[in-house]
Structure 1
């Protein structure tokens, strides 16, 4: 079955999506894959700050997981972004990220986004750099976790991307 971007629907994940999200993350080849249990919990406990793209038959083909930072309630931390191989290269990750942040901004007053990216993950670097540009937001980068911070063996550093303030209707209302 061939699908186009218009055949896809973006909404909140449900627990039944956890297995598909785990598979998409595992098949990405670039993400640190968490336990399958964590994806089930994510779909249950953080559905309000996450998004899933579905085919017409309801099958997930991409996702963004995130949460609002407790110490910075105006900031959405994007944990993972992944798109099934058959749907890559068509702007779906950007669409997911835009849709999620618009929803979370409206519901929680979020005005900034954070994520971490390992050096050399060009697709993620481009995704978040173009996201910042689309939203007229400043982008700052700094190493959040050094390689030596990871207890389970060699790991690239995680670079924090801090994006904001976002140019969203909610942000504009506050500055008017």
Structure 2
């Protein structure tokens, strides 16, 4: 993973013609939200990947990933699928403590259009349109939440039952 991040950090500024002193590009990632997965989903993904869900978040936290404090839902990837609300959206190498809402709007609009919808039109009232509209109406920046306090909370066996998502836990643990 570190080699991939190093490659992106090196190649992206060069490809964009920004020069060697350009800041590292912000990298947005989707991760499983261990608090949104069923016990069966958690176990299946851990077995498939060979890596526990909490350990995976800890690895990303060590390379600087922070949770985007926005109710992200991955739109349906095909007509036969449903939107997926069991994910965390995070940023790596983003400077500052928050992402400008307009920048996140433009990023998600592009990401959804290219990577999720693959150029197809989304049905009216779709998940991508809902999130893009919410960001278009937002003036406040979107906070980036450190993962470490929430990971410490989980590892200390504190009760996470009152939290709907890892994002909610990260927000509370940061207080």
Larger relative contact order, structure 1 or 2 (CA cutoff 8 Å, min sep 6):
2
Which has the larger Rg? 2
TM-score scaled to structure 1, two decimals? 0.29
* TM norm structure 2: 0.29
